[in-house]
Amino acid sequence: MQKETDNKLVVAISSRALFQLDQSHAVYENEGVEAYCAHQRDNENVLLEPGAAFNLARKLLALNRNASEAPLVEVVLLSRNSADTGLRIFNSIQHYGLGITRAAFCSGASPHRYVQAFGAQLFLSTNPTDVRESLAHGHAAATILPSRSDNDSGQLRIAFDGDAVLFSDESERIYKQLGLRAFAENERNAARDPMPGGPFKQVLAALHAIQAAHGADDSPIRTALVTARSAPSHERVIRTLRAWNIRIDEALFLGGMPKGAFLKAFEADIFFDDQQSHCDSAREFVATGHVPFGIANS
């Protein structure tokens, strides 16, 4: 089974990230498991509204339309629902025409255990505990926040923060512990030393592999680095990406400016950042995933 996923991007998404389940979750929290199960069974033919990650899932799956051979992308569903209560979710998946055929329903247990088994490079969930557990086991993951998500461009556009997302948090640790001057000096001295990869390095690499099959002008994917870094700390970023032989289409070095307006201009379908304050700003403009990794989340 593993060989089947080796050459494609596999993204695992929780049911509450894919669909609006707040009302159902409120029943669970206020009335308990039995009332929740009855509610889902009674409403299994009532379609769920799209959730914060729905548009991303739709665009990811659309990449398969022009695939000449094997699918480029697979989206799998990981859910704390049971198979019984999950029938409503699959009914909604079929209604919207999402090509999601694989799922794990865990009856209240954390589904992050199945990220590796499905060969997923990325796990998106609204449950911060599940996300932290996934990251702790070495898998890229993000907590999907209630966000604006209205990019209607046909191209899939994904934006990443740098330190503690694409790159390790070693430089960010210097900044947090010793200040801006020490950070800037370290980056100047280490400008030619590639940074270690962060939790989302392999996600970017998988996107790059899809892009590599297309020309720069007709790629169905566009990526961006949106970082608080500025010159001269930009040089190490550029040389790191060069050493990884990974293409990134746009790089924004903002020197601490708020990121939201730039993400809106980029028309990001989703943005990943490790710092909650940056996520809170970004979610006003685009779909946003918080990556609880590194010193900023210690």
pLDDT digits (tens, 9 = 90+) for 125-166: 999 999 999 999 999 999 999 887 666 777 999 999 999 999
CATH level 2 (architecture), domain 156-293: 3-Layer(aba) Sandwich (3.40)
Q: Which two tokens stand for residue 193?
A: 């030393």
Is pLDDT above 80 for 181? yes
Domain positions in the chain: 2-144, 156-293
Contact 236, 187 (CB under 8 A): yes
Annotated active-site positions, please? 161
Residue scoring higher pLDDT (297 or 7): 297
Per-residue pLDDT band for 6 (boundaries 50, 70, 90) equals low
pLDDT digits (tens, 9 = 90+) for 49-60: 999 999 999 999
Dihedral pair phi/psi, residue 220, rounded to 5°: -80, -5
Classify 33 as helix, strand or coil. helix
Q: What class has domain 2-144? A: alpha beta
pLDDT digits (tens, 9 = 90+) for 242-298: 999 998 999 999 998 999 999 999 999 999 999 999 999 999 999 999 999 999 998
Buried/exposed code over 181-217 (b: 16+ C-beta within 10 A; e: otherwise): eebbebbeebbeeebebbbbbbbbebbbebbeeeeee
Classify 290 as helix, strand or coil. strand
What was the pLDDT predicted at 258? 93
pTM of the model: 0.93
Whether the link from the prior residue into 196 is cis, omega within 30° of 0, is no
Quick one: average pLDDT of 110-124? 96
Per-residue pLDDT band for 215 (boundaries 50, 70, 90) equals confident
